[in-house]
Structure 1
Amino acid sequence: MKKKVHIAREKKKGQGTNRVEITGIVMILLGFFVCLSLGGYGMGIVGNLLRNGFYVLFGVASFGAALVLIFTGAVYVLTGHAPNMTRRLVFSLIAVWIILAGYHHHMLPAGSNFSVASFMTYGGMFCGIPVGIIRFLAGNIGTTIILTGLFVIDILLLTHWSVSNGAKKVGEQTEKRIGHVKARIREKQEAYHSARNAAENAGEQYNLTDFIFHKPTIKNIKKDDTEDLPVNVFSPADEKGKPVCGEATAPTVSENAQILLPEDNIDMLEGHKVCEENTNDIKINSKADMPEAEKNNFYSFPPLSLLKEGESSGSLETNAYGKANRLETTLKSFGVNAKIVHVSIGPAVTRYELEPAPGVRVSKIEGLSDDIALQLAATSIRIEAPIPGKSAVGIEIPNAKTAAVSLREVLSSNAFQKGKGKILVALGKDIAGKVVITDLAKMPHLLIAGQTGSGKSVCINTIITSILYHSLPEDVKLILIDPKVVELSIYNGIPHLRTEVVTEPKKAAGILNWAVTEMETRYRSFAEKNVRDINGFNKQNPEMKMPFIVVVIDELADLMMVAKDSVEDAICRLAQKARAAGIHLVVATQRPSVDVITGLIKANIPSRISFAVSSQVDSRTILDKAGAEKLLGKGDMLFNPSGASNPIRIQGAFISDEEVEAVVSYVKEQCIQQDVIVSDETKIDLSEWEPAVSSDSEEPKDELLAEASEWVVDTQRASVSALQRRFRIGYTRAGRLMDTMELMGIVSKADGAKPRTVLVSKGQLKELFPDQIEN
């Protein structure tokens, strides 16, 4: 019996559920029918009646009634029962609907409150009549105040929220926070007083700055999927001028997150060194505590106080996480799924390391560079795909504020102070803020290119100054070639110079030929002593020690215009063979075109530095790949050392003209104070090497010149084709003969299609060639 009753109840319950679902479906269909009717889709007589009736009664709020029908019907169908709504909730929702429709009707122009057209266009009779009466009695402003008050009251009834309770909770939370802050301040004060008392008892001084609150380096960090994102932050020198080469993380970054050096393969490059230790505790050396060779009696390294300290610029990139999120969103909008796994904040740019999802092509990310720059409002971006040694793609975005890297920061680092290289050169700081030092003796030659104002001259001054701070005059000699005359002339008089600064292009070709001869002489000495290079020779024969020679050419393009053949041949020979002889080249040019940086020069100078260039073609000329056209200028460079697969982005160290002058003056002054006179015997007599420079005016004259000139004067036919047929020579030689006759004044200049005119007689020609022309 009980079983039958249970079955009957289940059957009755199922019938009730079906009835509710049917009701819901009917409501949904009715709601769609009303929507289509209101939209004027031609739903017949019934649809037109509904449309006119709803518009007259409710106006534009009629669509709200249709949506309520659809929503209620969906609840009936999905839940199987009517929605559990209290009477107050229903009336509150209806009131909100009426008030919003009343707001809309309130926008009706004055004088048309009670017309049928206004009811259908605005709030309908249901809302329009009450609003029209209120508007007539209270005016426009009063109606707005009344409707707003009714809306606020209805919201309070609908949400059960109390203004007094809300204010009370806000006050409690504020008081609680203030109590926490007071407790922390009290703890700090107690710790400071106890530490100060202990220090006074011990006779020491205690610093209040050990107890101050430290602000985070990165602000505006959102807690999202990038919460544990490792960030490597570059910090400029602090107020004491000490370089910072360490790590800092945002407050929400995991403490166990590993801070990775963006260029993990840097340490593998020969002759390249990166400061990995924190340099906060490095003392700035003075002249008294700089290392000196025991046998050197006069030269002391310049003090670092001659160089300016780096200016602190605070946090360089305060919204790294925000840009990371925008970068991920931008890539996702183009169908590229990638996750940012590491952020490196450098002096000039911030690199975001992306880990693409499986199946994402690297070329697709590279093709979105312009779109990414647009979305992030960046001037230009550079994409390194992939990062060497990592399964990640690097996107480098310029910082809103660039921090200058002073040469003093780099020279005071442990990497430079304790470096054992023969010719250490300070370049600057990489994208992670790490000091970059390289040994010119292991490069072994360096090619520098970049457009005007990109930082080439500053880089050359940095290289020379690094040598003055690290190498003794007896260990390293300099040969400076400055066709621009004004760039390197300031170094005249320093003891490191092998000869005075060369400013004339023809003399520059001669000094390069001297360097070739010096290289050959050294190799013969190596062969006699049975050694392979300069290091072995100096170790075996300390009394005959040979210095390293660094040849610096400030503008190669000017030399190539004046004496291309001799300059190119000398540079190629030095680049091919001079490394073991201790002669190294530093060649700079502002025009990295193929007629200046020829294939022979590029093939023999493996290490390159490219500053900002104007086009991708110039970038490929200097680096054999694109990228330099995206650089920012002002010292932003790509350094591609010998053996590296990809170039390293560096913010070059800056040294001003005043600093260069101060360092050079110090070096010259100490030589004068120590009565050091550089012997003239060590200087190079350039006059002996000037004839080595080829010139068009010094070329030997063609043996046919006299005979050809005589034939031209006799026949009065001054043309290249006539010379070709008469003497059976090629066009090039015939053209050269005609040009020589023009220079000698025998024939006139070419005038388009008109023939040349013979300008001399047979007697005048005999005066030009007295021994070759007979009477």
Structure 2
Amino acid sequence: MATRKKTTSSRSTTRKAASRTTKKRNQKKSQELAFESEILLWILLAVSILLFVSNFGIGGKVGNAASTFMFGLFGVMAYIFPILLFIGSCFLISNKSNHFAIFKFIASILLFCALCLFLQLLVQKDTELSSGIVKNAYANSAAYKNGGGALGGIFVWLCVPNFGKFGSFVIDIVVMIISLVLITERSAILGMKRGGQKMYASAKEDARRYHENQQRRRVEQEERELRRIDKKVEGVAIDTKIGRQKKRTSDEINEVLPDIAMDIPEVKETEHISIPAIEPENADMPLPEIFIERAEEAASVDPYIPETEHDTPSSDPVMPEYDDAQMLESLLSDVGSFTEPLPEMSETSEEIVPEPLPASEVQAEPVMSDKPQKAEKTTPQENEKIGQEMQAAMEEKQPQNYVFPPVTLLKKGDPKAVGDSKAHLMETANKLQQTLKNFGVNVTITNVSSGPSVTRYEIQPEMGVKVSKIVNLTDDIKLNLAAADIRMEAPIPGKAAIGIEIPNKENVTVAFRDLIESEEFQKSNSKIAFAAGKDIGGQVVVTDIAKMPHLLIAGATGSGKSVCINTIIMSILYKAHPDDVKLIMVDPKVVELSVYNGIPHLMIPVVTDPKKAAGALNWAVAEMTDRYQKFAEYGVRDLKGYNEKVASIADIEDENKPKKMPQIVIIVDELADLMMVASNEVETAICRLAQLARAAGIHLIIATQRPSVNVITGLIKANMPSRVAFAVTSGVDSRTILDMNGAEKLLGKGDMLFFPQNYQKPLRVQGAFVSDKEVSDVVNFLKNQNGTTQYDPNIQEKMTQSENISMSISDSSNTADDKDVLFTDVGKFLIESEKGSIGSIQRRFKVGFNRAARIMDQLEEAGIVGPEEGTKPRKILMSMEEFEQYIEEYV
């Protein structure tokens, strides 16, 4: 027994040891498999990343070969094949023993093949369905990176000959849907059914609510109509022969009485009409049909009559007999008071001037007057006197007669000046095409647009030519065409073409009169629209200052800024009445805008003292604040709504009622001079106006010949969305104005880049020319015809008071004088490293984050680095030569 027990125990011990050995072996094997899987995943990740970057030409020779093979095999799907390769491998490795996961993986492969077939069907031509379709698909996809590659070509070769192209599309879409159902485990039909049920239930509920609302409105409308008819019938007691109207409101009198007066028969002076007395118990007698019809018509016109205690009719007194004159006077005194006698009123009912409404009616409607008006019974003589006073008051309120200047004061454009001939344009086009061909760029010239001073040649490069390759040939094209300067627009917005703008051999002057007489300017509804000039295609460019809503004009001396400002002012003089638009002009140069002194549109004389200019801008800020307070008081949002509300109460007689506000355009001819004298006050006022003055109807037009960052500061640029750039000396100035290069290639003499805020890219425009004689002739005409302007002394007094108002902005001192001492060194470091980040500045110069961020903001404001783009480093916008030039000029 002992021997047997020892044998049994030894066997159990052996089994336990074997079990432990097997368990250790399995654990070791699983660990080895885990290590192998991890190593395989890292290898697949590396291969996938290399394949992915090779698709963009940065993988070297092996990567380019692999990219060509993938595009030839899969077409466009080669872009996502590396991603799918890695994700699918991870999915398979993590689900080895899951057969359903393998089934999903096969469905994903099927979806990938279906997408390749779909892409190949899109680019496959019907004439290429031959035996070599797979080979052709591989070659085309590898060369042009489109289609579905050889894989898609195989399925096209199998499907299209047997099922046709349309049938192949149907089969392919069905296969894609089945694959998506297998992968997502969701039914498309059940989802559509649920969505349809939800839409049906929602539509049914909306229909039920709509019918209930319609029925409720119908019942309420019927009740209101019955109530109005009852009130009108109860409020009138009429004799059976001629009728008599009792106590009514002034609005009902205007609607009913003229018709009653026209129905009264003519009577001779010797005849008398006997009117029987009406007892109080007869007040409910039936009305004649004609008056019931008129009451119903009044009820249909009047949308709602509030229920007030004043509407209850009183009992009719007994009327004695009158002759015709006495009867009409009594009728007038009973039904209400009018401003004119009845014979004139019966001839033309439009001439009736109603009395002010009763207090009950004034309270029922939103009237801006603070004093309620009461209706009083007056005699005919008093009525006539009141009518004459009101007529005189209405005549006083009529806007003064403004005589617009005739277009004959302006000079017409030369009709014989047509610019370059067609032969010259064709010669230049052929030379341009040949020049590009000599540098290995084959292009097709699709269009030629000849403007007043520049001609744009639209070229379309052949397949595979990069846009940057053509842009880099700018200097070579300029050399071969012997052009003064050329500008490229690559690509033209909305067109698959590149625009090359070449100066004309013969320039054409754009006459201001041609723009004023154009259809575009005449049809413009805005009072402050101005004709900017003509674009490259010769079309008139007319824009609205109210939509800009502020304009920044910059350019070198002699480029055309002052002429552009004259164009804007003259456009307003030819378009707007002085009561609609007022002007404030600031001219530190003294001689440019002083000629406009005395025109009726000026609120104050042209300001030439820079200190007073700051006061004028501060007055505009105060005026803007006052206007917004009035807008809030009357519940409107902008100047247009306020003027409409004022126009709706024009018939109310009140000295304190609000008056119509004009739009105000503030024109500053030279901002740099103002910034030198009072930079803080001027910048603060300009920024506040630019931020808030649009809805108040105040608009800024600022011009400067020195577009530097200490004149056009970051705050001013941020709040002046519309820009006009004339010719400047360097790309730095162009970037300061437009945030892009281009203005340094302009020709001068009115050649501009016009960039309103709703444009994607600047538009090249040739500005109109207005001579000094034309300006003086128009100003003299306005002075002679409209008299000398009497300026408002209150505005001048407020402007003088506001000169001493000190305003401050937290970052208004951010100018070139307080740049960081490391500004130059940091700029050179970033240009050399070709990328900019705050962290690199901290590490390189051993400064804190706040200081590095301030230096980066100063570099961005100077146009050296671009704006931040999330976690990406900032772009460098200047070369080292341009930066050194900037340092010499501004630092």
Q: What is the TM-score of this pair, normalised by structure 1?
A: 0.51
CA deviation map 1:522-581 (0-9, x unaligned): 011000111110001101112521100000000000000111111101100100000000
Compared CA separation, residues 684 and 411, structure 1 to 2 (3 A): farther
Among candidates 495, 498, 516, match of residue 390 of structure 1: 495
Amino acid at match of 1:688: Q
Aligned ranges 1:67-106 → 2 under 5 Å: none
1:310 is matched with: 413
1:230 is matched with: none
Among candidates 663, 679, 682, match of residue 567 of structure 1: 682
Amino acid at match of 1:302: P
CA deviation map 1:702-728 (0-9, x unaligned): xxxxxxxxxxxxxxxxxxxxxxxxxxx
The reply on whether 1:687 has 2:687 as its aligned counterpart is no
Amino acid at match of 1:391: A
Compared CA separation, residues 656 and 629, structure 1 to 2 (3 A): same
1:507/1:689 contact within 8 Å kept: no
Between the aligned partners of 1:361 and 1:538, the Cα distance in structure 2 is 55
* Displacement of 1:643: 2.2
CA deviation map 1:216-270 (0-9, x unaligned): xxxxxxxxxxxxxxxxxxxxxxxxxxxxxxxxxxxxxxxxxxxxxxxxxxxxxxx
2:411/2:513 contact within 8 Å kept: yes
1:635 is matched with: 750
The reply on whether 1:442 has 2:442 as its aligned counterpart is no
1:498/1:684 contact within 8 Å kept: no
CA deviation map 1:685-717 (0-9, x unaligned): 43212212689xxxxxxxxxxxxxxxxxxxxxx
Between the aligned partners of 2:484 and 2:746, the Cα distance in structure 1 is 10
Aligned ranges 1:243-282 → 2 under 5 Å: none
Among candidates 361, 380, 398, match of residue 466 of structure 2: 361
RCO greater where, 1 or 2, for CA within 8 Å and sep 6 or more? 1
2:752/2:765 contact within 8 Å kept: yes
Between the aligned partners of 2:463 and 2:444, the Cα distance in structure 1 is 11
* Displacement of 1:678: 5.0
Between the aligned partners of 1:414 and 1:300, the Cα distance in structure 2 is 21
CA deviation map 1:129-160 (0-9, x unaligned): xxxxxxxxxxxxxxxxxxxxxxxxxxxxxxxx
SS of the equivalent of 1:689 reads helix
Amino acid at match of 2:545: L
SS of the equivalent of 1:350 reads strand
Between the aligned partners of 1:355 and 1:694, the Cα distance in structure 2 is 55
2:417/2:508 contact within 8 Å kept: no
Deviates more, 1:655-664 or 1:541-550: 541-550
2:559/2:727 contact within 8 Å kept: yes
Could you list the structure 1 runs, at least 4 aligned residues long, displaced by more than 6 angstroms after superposition: none
Among candidates 536, 548, 558, match of residue 453 of structure 1: 558
The reply on whether 1:487 has 2:602 as its aligned counterpart is no
The reply on whether 1:299 has 2:402 as its aligned counterpart is yes
CA deviation map 1:458-513 (0-9, x unaligned): 00001001000000111000010001111111111111111111111111111111
Compared CA separation, residues 682 and 473, structure 1 to 2 (3 A): farther
Amino acid at match of 2:749: K
Between the aligned partners of 2:734 and 2:598, the Cα distance in structure 1 is 37
Among candidates 766, 770, 775, match of residue 655 of structure 1: 770
* Displacement of 1:422: 3.1
Aligned ranges 1:724-763 → 2 under 5 Å: none
Corresponding pairs, count: 400
* Displacement of 1:667: 0.7
Between the aligned partners of 2:583 and 2:549, the Cα distance in structure 1 is 15
* Displacement of 1:681: 4.5
* Displacement of 1:311: 1.6
SS of the equivalent of 1:388 reads coil
* Displacement of 1:431: 0.5
Aligned ranges 1:218-257 → 2 under 5 Å: none
1:604 is matched with: 719
Among candidates 587, 600, 625, match of residue 702 of structure 2: 587
Q: C-alpha root-mean-square deviation of aligned residues, in Å?
A: 1.6
Amino acid at match of 1:654: F
Aligned ranges 1:304-703 → 2 under 5 Å: 304-318=407-421, 319-542=424-647, 544-672=659-787, 677-681=790-794, 683=796, 685-692=798-805
* Displacement of 1:353: 0.3
CA deviation map 1:639-664 (0-9, x unaligned): 00112110000000000001000011
CA deviation map 1:2-37 (0-9, x unaligned): xxxxxxxxxxxxxxxxxxxxxxxxxxxxxxxxxxxx
1:611/1:638 contact within 8 Å kept: yes
2:418/2:508 contact within 8 Å kept: no
Identical-residue share of aligned pairs (%): 61
2:532/2:541 contact within 8 Å kept: yes
* Displacement of 1:300: 1.6
Amino acid at match of 2:695: A
* Displacement of 1:312: 3.2
Between the aligned partners of 1:654 and 1:537, the Cα distance in structure 2 is 37
2:135 is matched with: none
* Displacement of 1:679: 5.0
Amino acid at match of 1:407: F
SS of the equivalent of 2:508 reads coil
SS of the equivalent of 1:458 reads helix
CA deviation map 1:65-114 (0-9, x unaligned): xxxxxxxxxxxxxxxxxxxxxxxxxxxxxxxxxxxxxxxxxxxxxxxxxx
Between the aligned partners of 1:603 and 1:550, the Cα distance in structure 2 is 20
1:563/1:693 contact within 8 Å kept: no
SS of the equivalent of 1:509 reads helix
Between the aligned partners of 1:624 and 1:489, the Cα distance in structure 2 is 33
1:298/1:676 contact within 8 Å kept: no
1:404/1:654 contact within 8 Å kept: yes
* Displacement of 1:354: 0.6
Between the aligned partners of 1:679 and 1:575, the Cα distance in structure 2 is 25
Between the aligned partners of 1:593 and 1:405, the Cα distance in structure 2 is 30
Between the aligned partners of 2:797 and 2:546, the Cα distance in structure 1 is 23
Amino acid at match of 1:593: S
2:854 is matched with: none
Compared CA separation, residues 314 and 658, structure 1 to 2 (3 A): closer
Between the aligned partners of 2:567 and 2:731, the Cα distance in structure 1 is 27
Compared CA separation, residues 684 and 666, structure 1 to 2 (3 A): farther
* Displacement of 1:680: 3.8
CA deviation map 1:733-769 (0-9, x unaligned): xxxxxxxxxxxxxxxxxxxxxxxxxxxxxxxxxxxxx
SS of the equivalent of 1:646 reads coil
* Displacement of 1:336: 1.2
Structure 2 residues not aligned, in runs of 5+? 1-396, 651-658, 809-891
Compared CA separation, residues 317 and 676, structure 1 to 2 (3 A): closer
Between the aligned partners of 2:807 and 2:548, the Cα distance in structure 1 is 31
Between the aligned partners of 1:569 and 1:314, the Cα distance in structure 2 is 47
Compared CA separation, residues 550 and 373, structure 1 to 2 (3 A): same
* Displacement of 1:359: 1.1
SS of the equivalent of 2:718 reads helix
CA deviation map 1:187-219 (0-9, x unaligned): xxxxxxxxxxxxxxxxxxxxxxxxxxxxxxxxx
SS of the equivalent of 2:715 reads helix
Deviates more, 1:313-322 or 1:506-515: 313-322
Between the aligned partners of 2:789 and 2:608, the Cα distance in structure 1 is 26
Bigger proportion of residues as helix:
2
SS of the equivalent of 1:564 reads helix
1:385/1:394 contact within 8 Å kept: yes
Amino acid at match of 1:401: E
2:301 is matched with: none
